[in-house]
């Protein structure tokens, strides 16, 4: 099954991400669909660096578009596809002089697709394990649902009550007017009218008390939604930006915000109805003129706060060829999506959203800076504005990777007599001017989103706090999960902790500073901890993801523990570990029968895959007989059983040491 076919079978949350991925014009979804097998069979990563390979794939792509166009011509119902593919070919021809740019774009889309698949797979695993925090979150959601259901039921009761109140007032008014016309009215009639006015007064007071009680309920819901559920969602989104496998869908929040806001608008209508009733008839000590104004203030305050809080950034800024979310490059296109969680069809295409960056500083974002919230750009009909063609500022006052910027969004909410200015901002982004700064910029994004829950704190790096080992280890595990579908286990984390802090009974209170992470070189090296780890992550992502995912690579292990593990194993047992001395990432194997092997780097693995290296490896023994000393992957898996499925068709040559 192709990667593209797997994407189409995902649940709604992840299929929406795939749909959003192809919303732009850089690489049309229809081309991806109809040429899926051919596209996935090419080495686009190599083509992005090799001009001749890029030129070759570019020509083959155009030929494939022509072939697909010819197939559509033979199908009578494919007129629109004919037209589209003709246009796609014309658009792609713009890359005639720089085909490697198109190769870079296609490679980026394939990597993003794989990321979506990895997240979906992990989410399924998490659901299967029924992790306790998820159960707690489910309970909090049930509580919100229950409270909203109660609030809606009370609103329905009050709709009935206010109709009864109006009918009761009309009846009294009719009898009172009749009494005024009858000069011979008896005392009994006056007593009856007095009872009616007393009952009417009592109903008015009860109705006002009911509104007050409903506002108390709404206050509790408001607090749960804004101070708990929304805060937790924003933190999940922040962590997901740096690889955490957290659910960031907005369906529940949109449903809850819409329901409570609709209830508040109903209360607003009830208060307006009370004004109408007072206009028709009032009396001494009428409770409405006194008690209604503070209730209206409460309703308007709640509504305003709910609507302001419902304007959020659904998809954080990212570049098509970027390293990760929240890293932008000057003069390069990026995309970002905002959403109003109050879903109301009457506002479709009405509210205009404008964009600015660091509005108190003189930076300019280029592109489409104003766009209407609409339901057409979201698969589930949410109120979104998807900015796909923004361009980062061309110049910055300081081009440093520790400078944080926020992208701001403003709009105006005008509905049912309520007018509220809305504003929201992205998480802080790092803007770079050169691709060589990407590694350091991503380190800043990781550090900020690991440690800072306040997205407004753009001066974070002026006094950057240290990370505890549990925080740092979790963040690092997410990076491996993102690159290779498997995080770090306890043994691997302990090896890294020992490397950083020495042998400890517990590492929970150990801390690592920003300087030690990204500025100071590791002992006896000319590179930092992050440069070393990032080199390994890139190696896993590009060449070792399958081996890392299936657990074949032990990765991080001290030399002492390595000798201890292999000491009692049968001859020919080996394990795979990462090099500690190579800046850009290296991997090697350890075996008692092999003394020293130079670590394999990306340069080596571009030429021959690691499973083929292990299969073909030979050493010369007595009488110059070549022997492969690698027989069992630790602890005792036969080498061909562990790696056979990864061998290439060309396997069979020999690699001598």
Nearest to 310 by CA among 225, 418, 248: 225
Q: State residue 656's pLDDT score.
A: 46
405 touches 363 (CB < 8 A): yes
Q: Is the pLDDT of residue 256 over 80?
A: yes
Lowest mean pLDDT among 123-137, 208-222, 275-289: 123-137
Q: Would you give the DSSP letter of residue 622?
A: G
443 touches 530 (CB < 8 A): yes
Residues forming a β-bridge with 412: 421
Q: Under CATH, which architecture does the 319-462 domain have?
A: Sandwich (2.60)
For residues 111-122, give the mean pLDDT: 80
What whole-number distance in Å separates Cα of residue 649 and Cα of residue 656?
A: 20
Contacts of 71 (CB under 8 A, 6+ apart): 78
**Span 469-646: which CATH code?**
3.30.505.10
What whole-number distance in Å separates Cα of residue 597 and Cα of residue 632?
A: 17
CATH superfamily for 144-310 is STAT transcription factor, all-alpha domain (1.20.1050.20)
Nearest to 470 by CA among 438, 442, 496, 440: 496
How distant is the alpha carbon of residue 191 from its chain centre?
A: 69
Q: Would you give the DSSP letter of residue 48?
A: T
Q: State residue 399's pLDDT score.
A: 47
Q: State residue 597's pLDDT score.
A: 81
What whole-number distance in Å separates Cα of residue 638 and Cα of residue 192?
A: 99
Percent above pLDDT 70 for the chain: 88
For residues 499-525, give the mean pLDDT: 93
Q: Is the pLDDT of residue 359 over 70?
A: no
pLDDT digits (tens, 9 = 90+) for 619-633: 866 667 778 889 999
Q: Name the residue with higher pLDDT: 647 or 69.
A: 647
Q: Which helix (H) or strand (E) holds 407?
A: strand 407-415
If phi > 0 it is left, if psi is from -120 to 50 it is alpha, else beta; for residue 466 that is beta
Q: Is the pLDDT of residue 653 over 60?
A: no
CATH superfamily for 3-129 is STAT transcription factor, N-terminal domain (1.10.532.10)
If phi > 0 it is left, if psi is from -120 to 50 it is alpha, else beta; for residue 244 that is beta
Backbone angles phi, psi at 637, to 5 degrees: -90, 125
First and final C-alpha spacing in the chain: 39
What whole-number distance in Å separates Cα of residue 178 and Cα of residue 146?
A: 48
- The winner for highest mean pLDDT among 103-112, 358-367, 554-563, 638-647 is 638-647
Q: State residue 363's pLDDT score.
A: 64
539 touches 585 (CB < 8 A): yes
| Domain chopping of the chain, boundaries | 3-129, 144-310, 319-462, 469-646
User: How does strand 383-391 pair with strand 333-340?
Assistant: antiparallel
pLDDT digits (tens, 9 = 90+) for 282-329: 888 889 999 999 999 999 999 999 999 999 999 999 987 777 899 998
373 touches 407 (CB < 8 A): no
Mean pLDDT (the chain, rounded)? 85
């Amino acid at each position: 099954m192709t990667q593209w076919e797997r994407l189409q079978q995902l649940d709604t949350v992840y299929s929406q991400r795939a749909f959003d991925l192809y919303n732009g014009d850089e690489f049309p979804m229809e081309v991806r669909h109809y040429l899926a097998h051919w596209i996935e069979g090419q080495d686009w990563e190599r083509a992005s660096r090799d001009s001749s390979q890029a030129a070759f794939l570019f020509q083959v792509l155009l030929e494939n578009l022509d072939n697909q166009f010819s197939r559509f011509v033979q199908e009578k119902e494919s007129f629109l596809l004919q037209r589209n593919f003709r246009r796609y070919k014309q658009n792609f021809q713009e890359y005639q002089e720089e085909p490697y740019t198109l190769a870079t774009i296609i490679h980026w889309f394939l990597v993003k697709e794989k990321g979506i698949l990895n997240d979906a797979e992990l989410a399924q695993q998490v659901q299967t394990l029924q992790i306790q925090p998820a159960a707690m979150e489910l309970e909090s959601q049930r509580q919100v649902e229950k409270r909203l259901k109660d609030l809606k039921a009370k609103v329905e009761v009050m709709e009935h009550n206010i109709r009864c109140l109006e009918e009761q007032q009309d009846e009294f008014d009719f009898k009172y007017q009749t009494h005024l016309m009858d000069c011979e009215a008896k005392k009994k009639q006056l007593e009856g009218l007095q009872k009616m006015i007393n009952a009417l007064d009592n109903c008015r007071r009860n109705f006002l008390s009911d509104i007050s009680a409903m506002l108390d309920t709404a206050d509790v819901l408001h607090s749960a939604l804004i101070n708990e559920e929304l805060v937790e969602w924003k933190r999940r989104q922040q962590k997901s930006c740096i690889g955490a496998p957290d659910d960031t869908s907005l369906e529940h929040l949109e449903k809850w915000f819409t329901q409570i806001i609709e209830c508040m608008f109903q209360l607003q209508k009830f208060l307006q109805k009370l004004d109408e009733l007072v206009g028709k008839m009032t009396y001494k000590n009428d409770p409405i003129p006194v008690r209604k104004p503070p209730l209206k203030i409460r309703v308007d305050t709640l509504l305003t706060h709910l609507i302001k809080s419902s304007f959020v950034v659904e998809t954080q800024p990212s570049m098509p060829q970027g390293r990760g979310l929240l890293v932008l490059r000057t003069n390069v296109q990026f995309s970002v999506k905002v959403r109003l969680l109050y879903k109301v069809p009457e506002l479709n295409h009405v509210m205009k959203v404008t964009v600015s960056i660091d509005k108190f500083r003189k930076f300019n974002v280029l592109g489409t800076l104003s766009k209407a919230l609409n339901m057409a750009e979201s698969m589930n009909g949410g109120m979104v504005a998807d900015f796909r063609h923004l361009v980062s500022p061309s110049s910055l006052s300081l081009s440093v990777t520790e400078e944080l910027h926020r992208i701001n969004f403003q709009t105006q909410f005008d509905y049912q007599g309520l007018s509220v200015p809305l504003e929201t901002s992205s998480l802080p982004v790092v803007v770079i001017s050169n691709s060589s700064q990407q590694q350091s910029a991503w380190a800043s994004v990781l550090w900020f989103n690991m440690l800072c829950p306040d997205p407004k704190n753009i001066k974070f790096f002026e006094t950057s706090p240290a990370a505890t080992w549990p925080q740092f280890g979790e963040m690092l595990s997410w990076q491996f999960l993102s690159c290779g579908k498997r995080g770090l286990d306890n043994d691997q984390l302990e090896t890294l902790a020992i490397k950083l802090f020495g042998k400890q009974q517990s590492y929970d209170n150990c801390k690592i500073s920003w300087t030690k992470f990204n500025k100071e070189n590791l002992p006896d090296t000319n590179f930092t901890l992050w440069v070393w780890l990032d080199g390994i992550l890139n190696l896993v992502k590009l060449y070792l993801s399958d081996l890392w995912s299936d657990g074949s690579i032990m990765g991080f292990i001290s030399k002492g523990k390595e000798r201890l593990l292999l000491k009692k194993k049968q001859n020919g047992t080996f394990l795979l570990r990462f090099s500690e001395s190579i800046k850009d990432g290296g991997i090697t194997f350890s075996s008692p029968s092999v003394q020293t092997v130079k670590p394999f780097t990306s340069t080596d693995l571009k030429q021959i895959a690691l499973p083929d290296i292990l299969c073909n490896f030979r050493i010369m023994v007595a009488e110059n007989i070549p022997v492969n000393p690698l027989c069992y992957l630790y602890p005792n898996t036969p080498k061909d059983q562990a790696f056979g499925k990864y061998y290439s068709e060309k396997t069979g040559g020999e690699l001598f040491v």
